[in-house]
Amino acid sequence: MNGRVLHIEGTFTRSNLDCLVSFVYAPNIGILKNELWTYLVTFRDSVSKPWCLAGDFNETFFPSDRKGGSQITSSMSRFKNCIDDCNLIELPLNGRKFTWSRGNAASRIDRIFLSGDWLQAFPSSSLFGLSKYPSDHRPLHLLLDHTNWGPKPFRFMNYWWLASDFRIMIQSFWSSIAVSKSGSRKMVPALKMLKERCRQWSKASVGNMNDRIEELELEADLMDRQNECRVLNIDELIRSKSIASQLKILYRAHESAWHQKSRIQWCKLGDKNTRFFHLAATTRQKKNQLACLEVDGKILSKPNEPPKLIRNFDPSSGLEMRKGTKYAMLAGQLLLFQNMRVVLGLVL
């Protein structure tokens, strides 16, 4: 494309994954820029591996991408249509608002876009802006590794209701909770124990859903091959039906899990939209991700730094914070309780 695009194909040796990275330097002239957008859309049809598109596009997505910008222009719309037609997802920039500046002028014209296959292979991909001096452009730093930020908060998964023994486990647990003389239960400690019981049940009964699906699919395929060569006996037929029934439940549970994580309510389950939900959830996670904190002008980006800040918090001014934390904890407990009170048959 007249020296405007450089394509590099390679393999990530750590994960043995073939990929394509394209670097773009878009022209300032509108006609030439439109020719580049057309070329990228056409080129997309030939891409069959994870794709990363990065560079200086000399165009913004939104008015907020330009200092003092207030209007959506036709050139913005053409650029956005190009990215949409390429089925690419923009990686949010952490810590910086603009990537180019000169004097009082500033804009975000340097970007990185990723394909769905790339995000599935590297779901922890994150983007940071480095110091731009002496250039007018800020270098972009793409990180692929996952950072361990510690244990994740409890989340009630809707697909647990698909398991027949889940309701039995809830009712059995609640019946085992001691009742006071007034006929009531201490809700906060009881719900804390219930969260832990749900975690244990999920680990034992559900486990790694992808591994279970793969194991059952391999076993089902083996039985299909045997059925092609001979007549299956009664035990094998029963096992084959059991595998089909388990896979049906696991497929729906897998889709339900990603549907819940994606927070997309207008798309119904049952249409094999698992990959779409996965990409939507990953994109939402990128938008909501807090990669760093700025406290008194200092950037905290390591997992052990925020806990140190909280431990060193001044107790004399921490009453409101501790009170808010307590209310947040109670709100989370009540939300879990609302999801289960139909089963428990409680009257509040």
How do the pLDDT tens digits run along the chain, 348 residues long? Answer: 567 999 999 998 878 889 999 999 999 998 999 999 999 999 999 999 999 999 999 999 999 999 988 889 999 999 999 999 998 988 888 878 899 988 888 999 999 999 988 888 888 788 888 877 668 898 898 888 656 556 667 777 777 777 777 888 888 888 887 666 666 667 778 888 888 888 887 777 666 677 778 888 888 888 888 887 888 899 988 988 888 888 888 787 777 766 666 554 444 444 445 555 555 556 666 666 666 667 776 766 666 666 666 656 555 544 344 334 444 444 444 444 444 443 443 333
Instruction: Give the C-alpha separation, 111 to 90, whole Å.
Output: 8
Q: Are 183 and 213 in contact (CB under 8 A)?
A: no
pLDDT for position 341 = 42
Q: Is residue 149 part of a domain?
A: no
Domain boundary among the residues 143, 166, 189 is at: 143
Instruction: Give the C-alpha separation, 105 to 127, whole Å.
Output: 23
pLDDT for position 92 = 86
pLDDT for position 8 = 94
- 301 and 222 assigned to the same domain: yes
pTM listed for this prediction = 0.51
- 74 and 200 assigned to the same domain: no
- 59 and 113 assigned to the same domain: yes
Go through the chain and tell me how many residues it has.
Answer: 348
Show the domain range for 281. Answer: 158-344
- 279 and 324 assigned to the same domain: yes
Cis peptide before 134 (omega within 30 of 0): yes
- 317 and 287 assigned to the same domain: yes
Q: Is residue 152 part of a domain?
A: no
- 220 and 182 assigned to the same domain: yes
- 96 and 186 assigned to the same domain: no
Q: Is residue 148 part of a domain?
A: no
Give how far Cα 205 sits from Cα of 78, 125, 169, 175, Å: 50, 31, 11, 21
Q: Is residue 151 part of a domain?
A: no
What CATH number corresponds to the domain at position 99? 3.60.10.10
Q: Is residue 150 part of a domain?
A: no
Counted domains in the chain: 2
- 11 and 50 assigned to the same domain: yes
Q: Are 166 and 190 in contact (CB under 8 A)?
A: no
pLDDT for position 18 = 92
